[in-house]
Amino acid sequence: MKRPLVLLKAGSAMEAVRQRYGDFEDWLAAGLGLPEEHIRLVRVEEGEKLPRPEECGAVVITGSHAMVTDNLPWSVALAQWLPEVVERGIPLLGVCYGHQLLAAATGGRVDYHPQGSEIGTVSIELLPEAADDQLFRGLPPSFPVQAYHSQSVRTLPPGAILLARNNFEPHHAFRIGACAWGVQFHPEYTQAVMAAEIAAATEHLTADGPNPSALLATVRECPEAGSLLARFARLTTATAR
């Protein structure tokens, strides 16, 4: 029997966004395109027990409004669990918070970005190493993504392969081991979700610097970024035992 893809819920979108569009796990499941019975949801931020790594056909870690540097008990437990998943070669994708936690768990450093938050539709540039990467190969050298983060990976883990960056964020995507990826951006966000996140965070954004109206004017769909989820799902099918 095929082992399930384990979707680790590390947090939730803002309430106003959830009421209209659902939550992180809904968008990720839709992008992955796997049958519902092939996905096992584990609400780690609520204290649900992590499965044994050998029970996982693949792992996806959602975003969160928590901060990696808060060292919350569930987050510390998840960070301690991740290295074995990487060592076993189980396909893993960390998104935003998941990206940062993967880096921290394998020897990298995470902290607040010195220039503040990156939010909205931004462009990223693939590095030459992405051409041979089984998740990123074949994508354009530059494409738009949806971003919403104030912390980031300040130092990559030893041995990590940098795959994507932009002028604001030097570590937008990396791979460590054979098939563990972190992406700082949100491949699961649609244009509508990104716009709703900006609208819900208007008060914070006004205080923090970026102009919400200007951000909303640039939001658009990001099909190349979104395609990474289906690409990842195909890899999990190819490597499942």
Q: Is the pLDDT confidence value at 103 over 60?
A: yes
Per-residue pLDDT tens digits for 135-186: 999 999 999 999 999 999 999 999 999 999 999 999 999 999 999 999 999 9
Compute the distance between CA of residue 120 and CA of residue 147 in angstroms, rounded to an integer. Answer: 5
Q: Is the pLDDT confidence value at 241 over 50?
A: no
Q: Which residue type does 15 have?
A: E
Per-residue pLDDT tens digits for 47-68: 999 999 999 999 999 999 999 9
pLDDT band at 228 (very low <50, low <70, confident <90, very high): very high
Domains and CATH numbers, the chain: 5-239 (3.40.50.880)
For residues 170, 130, 104 and 51, what is the CA-based torsion angle, rounded to 10 degrees?
Answer: 150
Residues designated as active site: 96, 186, 188
Compute the distance between CA of residue 231 and CA of residue 221 in angstroms, rounded to an integer. Answer: 18
Residues 6+ apart with CB under 8 A from 221: 190, 191
DSSP string, 5-60: EEEE------HHHHHHH--HHHHHHHHHT--GGGEEEE-GGGTPPPPPGGG-SEEE
Q: Is the pLDDT confidence value at 190 over 70?
A: yes
Q: Six-digit token pair at 165? A: 């960056």
pTM higher than the cut 0.85: yes
Of all residues in the chain, the percent with pLDDT exceeding 90 is 89
